[in-house]
Amino acid sequence: MAESYHEVEDRIDDAIDALNDAEYPNIARTAREFDVPEQRLRRRFKGVQNKI
């Protein structure tokens, strides 16, 4: 079954929290750890809002 947009966004929020807590944030590694699209995480981390 496909994941919902909101499930992925929830994981992205958790990933951003982890990046903010990291001494040396690594977006690519964090995206893999949280199983989220790297580019979407990169945009959210820079402050671009989600579509919904």
- Nearest alpha carbon to residue 29 among 16, 38, 20: 38
Name the residue range of residue 33's domain: 5-46
Residue 12 has a pLDDT of: 97
Residue 2 has a pLDDT of: 63
Residue 1 has pLDDT above 60, yes or no: no
Q: Quick check: is 52 in a domain?
A: no
* Count of domains observed in the chain: 1
Q: Quick check: is 51 in a domain?
A: no
Residue 48 has a pLDDT of: 85
Q: Please answer whether residues 42 and 27 qualify as being in contact, where contact means their C-beta atoms are separated by less than 8 angstroms.
A: yes
Residue 3 has a pLDDT of: 81
- Beta carbons within 8 Å of 15's beta carbon, 6+ residues apart: 30, 31, 33, 34, 36, 41
- Nearest alpha carbon to residue 41 among 5, 3, 7, 9: 9
* Tens of pLDDT, residues 3-50: 899 999 999 999 999 999 999 999 999 999 999 999 999 999 998 887
- Nearest alpha carbon to residue 50 among 6, 3, 4: 6
